[in-house]
Homo-oligomer: A and B are copies of this chain.
């Protein structure tokens, strides 16, 4: 694996994400570019978005699978990149102030979720190091 090459498609995809104010989905990027790039394929959009996310040029939000939680009180979650699981972390001490703070921008907050990404206690204890792919 030596450095990647220039790609017109990739640059356009990147520009489309930057230009959009709405945190576009892959489909949104595709629809936006299609008029000017009729032969663009959705697979290319996905491939490039993920590639750029891996480089840190973009950020990828949310997981592909919906999970359910019987704890309806506010608390935080840790998504473990080793085992893929999701576990609780208890409430953060400043949880309560977050909503009001956010509402200063004119929106109405109904609830919030704080999701950490990292290595859960179980996986961390299992063995110390190893390549930590973000």
Residues in B with CB closer than 8 Å to A1 are: none
Pairs of residues from A and B, 10 with the lowest C-beta to C-beta distance, nearest first: A106-B121, A109-B118, A18-B70, A23-B86, A108-B119, A23-B67, A59-B69, A110-B118, A112-B116, A17-B70
CA of A61 to CA of B125, assembled, Å: 27
Q: Give the interface SS of chain A, mostly helix, strand, loop or mixed.
A: mixed
Q: Which of A92, A108, A132 has the most CB of B within 10 A?
A: A108
Interface string of A41-55 (1 = CB under 8 A from B): 000000001000100
Q: Is A66 a contact partner of B61 (Cβ separation < 8 A)?
A: yes
Q: Give 7 pairs: A residue, B residue, CB < 8 Å, sorted on A.
A: A24-B68, A25-B65, A49-B68, A60-B66, A98-B114, A109-B117, A113-B117
